[in-house]
Amino acid sequence: MSYDMLNTFLNSTPYDILVQNERGVTLFGYPFFSTSFLLPGVDPPSYQLSLFDKSTIHTKRSLVPLRNSSSLHSVTELYPVTTPLDAKEKWYVSMDWSGEIKSGTGLADVDDQGWTYAWSFIADRWKSSKGLVRRRIWVKLPETDL
């Protein structure tokens, strides 16, 4: 999944979106991922908020780093901003954002927790396993009664 595919997804979604980034290390054959492993100045911040850029003629989204996001442990600590009391919204992990659909299955190339992996954050190819970095997309949707 390239950066262009990520931007295409962000621009096609009318909802609030957060991008969560982590870097990993492998110890004794087991991968460990954390926001603590992100390299300052090289990697994006642990959370980025996707905002519409009103400075351009075309309404496009841009990723904005969130301050002090390195000490957060969940999306709910980071965000919700103030909303009306009657608004029922929840954060969900997007399982189909990558734009790289596995042939014939109709499923995006993400793991069972919504993470997609690559060897670097600027990589063109993101997959559902094996990589030094990973990211997932959180989407804030209205809660519905089924």
pTM over 0.75? The answer is: no
| Residue-range domain boundaries for the chain | 3-142
pLDDT of residue 4: 64
94 or 84: which leads in pLDDT: 94
CA distance 6 to 82: 27
- Which range among 2-16, 35-49, 74-88 shows the weakest confidence by mean pLDDT? 74-88
Is the confidence at residue 100, as pLDDT, over 50?
no
- CB within 8 Å of 124: residues ≥ 6 apart: 1, 2
Q: Determine the pLDDT at residue 38.
A: 93
The per-residue pLDDT for 6 is: 63
Mean pLDDT of the chain: 71
Q: What is the pLDDT of residues 21-76, one digit of tens each?
A: 999 999 998 999 999 999 998 998 888 877 655 444 444 455 555 554 444 445 55
- Residues 49 and 64: their CA atoms lie apart, in Å, by 5
Residues above pLDDT 90, as percent of the chain: 21
| Contacts of 116 by beta carbon, 8 Å cutoff, 6+ apart | 1, 98, 108, 109, 110, 126, 127, 128, 134, 135, 136
Look up residue 64 and give its amino acid.
V
